[in-house]
Structure 1
Amino acid sequence: MLNDYTANWRRSIRYQKKLTSFKSALDSAWTTFNYHRFPQSSLSDAIDCALTIPFGTLKAKLIVVEDCNFKQFDDEMLKTLSLLPQIPDFSHLVFVAPSFDKRLKVSKLLISHAKLLEFMLIPLWRSDLIAQSISSQAKSLKLLLDTNTVDYLAQAIGNDLTRAESELQKLAIYGEGRRLTNAEVQALVPLQTQSSLQLAKAIRENNLRKTITLLDELLLRAEFPLVICATLSTQFRTWLWVKAAICASQQRFAIVSGVKLDNEIAKVCQIANPKRVYFLKKEVAATSELALAQAVTLLLELEVSLKLGAKADFMMSSILTIARLFQPIQST
């Protein structure tokens, strides 16, 4: 059973790679007869197919039920799934779904008879988990990397796990078992994950040089200025709400009274994943609430100007003006 989030092409590639590994177990001369794909509406036919004997000498067949929406599985379909224990070992029956709610009756039934494989991207803001994933993959390849190098790779590759696998294999071949230096890794794995979120971070940190570099590279890659501006607006608006909620919990302002727990802040700030609040609080800890509010206002003005035909030069000057708003809060 595959839980495939196909909205993102990277996850789709990982799913296709796994499906290819399943297909490799089939008799190549009889693949057409032993590889079958069915829509959810033909679940009964898929089960019947899985119960039939395969052709060829390898005695294996693959049946894929695509685009499953388990919330739509009715009693008749559940009755059909009751035949799962009867499916012989030579048949690999794969259910592909964009989401998987383990609370559903059908989900519990499938888990009791199948293995769940999830292809979810690590959120881009969880740099710690990205670094852990890269470190784990490097160890499996016997690739020796220090912490600074792993952190660089996490920044250079981001949450593109397909690229991570490819780059680490390349480094392992190049290194031949020796520890690679940070300089060697940087030469072999260029930084290609410049994004509007990194630009937002550079602005918030008052890093003017990095702000200019990132914005230049985004524009050279033909990123639409309005898209960049919209992402920045969303990020700074989120930071502002989190900062306001923190201030409220400290009883310095009465915008939202009594907001203390991360899940409460997530609800107030409309953040889908409460776990992200911990990281957002760290990001805005040394940032002025006033500067965030001014940044949101200036970004809205920039968006209007871009819609009226303002050019990239105007965008650069506006972004630098916003970056100059941010000075670290001095501790008292």
Structure 2
Amino acid sequence: MVVYFYWGEDDFAIEKAVALVRDRVLDPLWTSFNYTVLPPDLPDAPIQALNQVMTPPFGAGGRLVWLANTTLCQQCSDNVLSELVRTLPVIPENSFLLLTSSHKPDERLKSTKILKKFAQFQEFPLIPPWKTELLVQSVTQAAQTLGVKLTPKSVEMLAESVGNDTRLLHNELEKLRLYAQGSNQALDTDAVAQLVQNTTQNSLQLAAAIRTGDTARASAILTDIINACEPPLRIVATLIGQFRTWLWVKLMIENGERNSQVIAKAAEIGNPNRIYYLQKEIQSVSVQQLIASLPILLDLEVSLKQGASEMSALQTKVIELCQVCRGT
């Protein structure tokens, strides 16, 4: 396969995948001759990419043309589509075309359909912040790859600290790896707390404070999250996911379901053991309160997407949510 299409929100994972392709295709001595990166703001970037990929490589190794942040699978003019149809089937074996995008390809477009015939598509999604078991797995896998030994508790702490930010995870693990160099002991939570900076507040803690109706704590956590440059829409996405999970679990329990596996499947929770803890979390909140919270969160999401003042909108809705969960 000489054409690759990488897409998704995890830009760091995409960067690593691009680096792997680059290292595999290019000869280091001939990189400057055979490696071309075409940014999205370049006029006729797709046409240039297709022309470049048809040019034989110089010297040793292959040729790699990277069409970065492309919108070919969201919109495509007729002349670019014609070039795709003409060029993709005849790309030389030692030339490689790499396309990346943060957006999901539109399966209805002719450009997507023709690329599907000749390209290897791979998605790089971000793990939803509320899926803690997947975040823990991600930390475990990344630590093993980098050779960092962590205790189970420190894995959980690191997952809570970095969330689904894979770039931050890699940076923090590199720091921990250097700290532990020459030692065979697994790093405990004390070491992680000392070295990992982002161990303060996250959106799940904000959800927990809202659930208990603690307006002062929720407002303080929100301020910390915003100061840490967490995107507001990501905060809202986490809150919506967490409140939906709580609602599903509460509904199932109140309907008499006691099987953790059945509840976990309905709530899309990977680890049924979490149901025990979720049950405890929602003991003091009613189904009606959880249902009433979702329209507020969805309204907040719409407001942010329409350009509302981020901090003001978040603060207002967090206070409103706390009042709902307090029953006032």
TM range (shorter): 0.5 to 0.7
Partners of 1:164 and 1:233 lie apart in 2 by 18
Q: CA deviation at 1:111?
A: 5.7
Partners of 1:166 and 1:318 lie apart in 2 by 37
Question: Superposition pairs for residues 253-272 of structure 1, below 5 Å?
Answer: none
Q: CA deviation at 1:160?
A: 0.3
Instruction: Name the TM-score, length of structure 2 as normaliser.
Output: 0.63
Give 2:305's aligned residue.
none
Match of 2:198 among 168, 171, 191: 191
CA distance 1:323–1:212, shift in 2 (3 Å): farther
Give 1:303's aligned residue.
none
Q: CA deviation at 1:127?
A: 1.2
Partners of 1:298 and 1:110 lie apart in 2 by 41
- Please state whether the residue corresponding to 1:129 is helix, strand or coil: helix
CA distance 1:154–1:72, shift in 2 (3 Å): same
Give 2:64's aligned residue.
62
Q: Are the counterparts in 1 of residues 161 and 198 from structure 2 also a CA contact under 8 Å?
A: yes
Q: Are the counterparts in 2 of residues 208 and 323 from structure 1 also a CA contact under 8 Å?
A: no
Where relative contact order (Cα < 8 A, 6+ residues apart) is larger, the structure is: 2
Q: Which moved more, 1:153-162 or 1:213-222?
A: 213-222
Runs of at least 5 residues in structure 1 that lack an aligned partner in the other structure: 252-259, 266-273, 301-306, 327-332
Q: CA deviation at 1:203?
A: 2.5
Q: Which moved more, 1:150-159 or 1:61-70?
A: 61-70
CA distance 1:195–1:322, shift in 2 (3 Å): farther
Partners of 1:217 and 1:174 lie apart in 2 by 27
Give 1:122's aligned residue.
127
CA deviation string 1:118-175 (max 9, x = no partner): 3321111111111101001111222221221111111000000001011112112211
Question: Superposition pairs for residues 150-169 of structure 1, below 5 Å?
Answer: 150-169=155-174
Q: Which moved more, 1:106-115 or 1:175-184?
A: 106-115
CA distance 1:144–1:261, shift in 2 (3 Å): closer
Q: Which moved more, 1:15-24 or 1:160-169?
A: 15-24
Partners of 2:110 and 2:318 lie apart in 1 by 54
Partners of 2:238 and 2:141 lie apart in 1 by 35
Q: Are the counterparts in 1 of residues 63 and 96 from structure 2 also a CA contact under 8 Å?
A: yes
Question: Superposition pairs for residues 226-237 of structure 1, below 5 Å?
Answer: 231=236, 235=240
Say whether 1:144 aligns with 2:149: yes
- Please state whether the residue corresponding to 1:35 is helix, strand or coil: strand
The one-letter amino acid paired with 1:49 is Q
Q: Are the counterparts in 1 of residues 247 and 287 from structure 2 also a CA contact under 8 Å?
A: no
Q: CA deviation at 1:60?
A: 3.2
- Please state whether the residue corresponding to 1:159 is helix, strand or coil: coil
Partners of 1:105 and 1:69 lie apart in 2 by 10
Say whether 1:15 aligns with 2:14: yes
- Please state whether the residue corresponding to 1:148 is helix, strand or coil: helix
RMSD over equivalenced CA pairs, Å: 5.4
Partners of 1:222 and 1:72 lie apart in 2 by 31
Question: Superposition pairs for residues 235-254 of structure 1, below 5 Å?
Answer: 235=240, 239=244, 242=247, 246=251, 250=255
Question: Superposition pairs for residues 1-332 of structure 1, below 5 Å?
Answer: 1-5=4-8, 11-19=10-18, 22=21, 25=26, 27=28, 31=32, 34-37=35-38, 43=46, 45-55=48-58, 57-66=59-68, 67-70=70-73, 76=82, 77-84=84-91, 87-88=92-93, 90-97=94-101, 98-100=103-105, 110=115, 113-176=118-181, 177-192=184-199, 194-205=201-212, 211=218, 214-215=221-222, 217-218=224-225, 231=236, 235=240, 239=244, 242=247, 246=251, 250=255, 275=268, 286=283, 287-292=285-290, 324-325=326-327
The one-letter amino acid paired with 2:72 is N
- Please state whether the residue corresponding to 1:82 is helix, strand or coil: helix
Partners of 2:270 and 2:286 lie apart in 1 by 17
- Please state whether the residue corresponding to 1:116 is helix, strand or coil: strand
The one-letter amino acid paired with 2:53 is A
Q: Are the counterparts in 2 of residues 200 and 235 from structure 1 also a CA contact under 8 Å?
A: no
Q: Which has the larger radius of gyration?
A: 1
The one-letter amino acid paired with 2:36 is Y
Q: Are the counterparts in 2 of residues 63 and 92 from structure 1 also a CA contact under 8 Å?
A: yes
Partners of 2:22 and 2:131 lie apart in 1 by 34
Partners of 1:113 and 1:143 lie apart in 2 by 39
Q: Are the counterparts in 2 of residues 240 and 289 from structure 1 also a CA contact under 8 Å?
A: no
Q: Which moved more, 1:202-211 or 1:175-184?
A: 202-211
Q: Are the counterparts in 2 of residues 195 and 214 from structure 1 also a CA contact under 8 Å?
A: yes
- Please state whether the residue corresponding to 2:147 is helix, strand or coil: coil
Partners of 1:50 and 1:138 lie apart in 2 by 37
> Percent same amino acid among aligned pairs?
22
